C-alpha cells in the first residue's frame, strides 16, 4: 500500500518540525534538549488539532513565525525555550 503524497505545505511543516528537533540536539544539557523536544512536540500536536487544514493563510503565518523562532533557537546564546498559553476569545 503506497503512502499518501504530501502537499507542499505539509512538507514545509514537517521540515520545520525536524528543524526544531535538530536544533534541540545541539543544546548542551540533556535537560534542555528534552524540554525543547517536549514543548515543540506539544505545540505542533496542539496546532494540528486546532487549525483548520484549509486555513492556508493562518498556516503560512504559523510557518513564518515558527521559522523565526527556529532561527532564534539555533543561536548559540539561546539555551532553551518556553511555552506560553494564550487564551483567545471567540467573540
pLDDT for position 52: 93
Burial class (CB in 10 A: 0-12, 13-18, 19+), 32: middle
Task: With beta carbons less than 8 A apart as the criterion, state whether 44 and 50 touch.
Answer: no
pLDDT for position 90: 46
pLDDT for position 29: 86
**Distance from CA of residue 54 to its chain's centroid?**
18
Mean pLDDT by 10 residues, the chain (91 residues): 80 95 88 91 94 94 94 78 53 43
- Angle among Cα 10, 48, 35 to the nearest 5 degrees reads 100
Amino acid at each position: 500500500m503506497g503512502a499518501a503524497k504530501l502537499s507542499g505545505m505539509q512538507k514545509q511543516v514537517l521540515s520545520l518540525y525536524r528543524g526544531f528537533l535538530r536544533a534541540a540536539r545541539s543544546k548542551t544539557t540533556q535537560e534542555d534538549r528534552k524540554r525543547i523536544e517536549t514543548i515543540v512536540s506539544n505545540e505542533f500536536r496542539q496546532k494540528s488539532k486546532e487549525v483548520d487544514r484549509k486555513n492556508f493563510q493562518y498556516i503560512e503565518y504559523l510557518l513564518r513565525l515558527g521559522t523565526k523562532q527556529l532561527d532564534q533557537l539555533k543561536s548559540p546564546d539561546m539555551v532553551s525555550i518556553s511555552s506560553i498559553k494564550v487564551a483567545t476569545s471567540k467573540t
